[in-house]
A = this chain, B = another copy of it.
């Protein structure tokens, strides 16, 4: 039986180091570069430890994904509760690390069907939470819901920020980026006024 294989504790520092190494490799070389031997080497550990703490490589990916989703949801909630929610949301969604990792996970989802469901459901959670927050915010600002509905704001902000980050981080492209950022921020300024918090 392989079901009685011993698995290390979830609170182990070694385990956390392996997860951290996985994230670094994904960001630097893409998900396909994540192998048990490379992850361990990156963390200065033996390769077997990967299989001691994670039954399969998919479990490793999922562990990383879950921690990042939790952090991301928390950050998003903070942004929505901030003094200037629109600016804060725009800033967090433009975070390069988070977006690059998300893109890698989406690419991974196309290769590992097992992981797809998890990623899709977390994406839905992000969207739902952001929607809920934006509904309150936009109503408070008195935005005409026939013009800018909260759901459209959510999708637009996600797509634009993620696309820009992806082009810049992965391809090194930046043509039209400054203009597009300025365009979006003009709209934010119109609704929420001049930015008072510093850009992250």
Contact = CB atoms under 8 A, between A and B. Distances in A.
A174 to B, nearest CB: 10
Stoichiometry, as copies per complex, reads: 2
Contacts of A124: 173, 175
Interface residues of A, number: 45
Interface in A132-179: 149, 151-152, 154-156, 158-160, 162-164, 166-167, 170-173, 175-177, 179
A69 interface: no
Contact of A104 (B110, B128, B131, B151): B110
A29 interface: yes
B155 A180 contact: yes
Contacts of A172: 116, 120
Interface of A: 29-33, 103-104, 106-111, 116, 119-120, 123-124, 127-128, 131, 149, 151-152, 154-156, 158-160, 162-164, 166-167, 170-173, 175-177, 179-180, 183
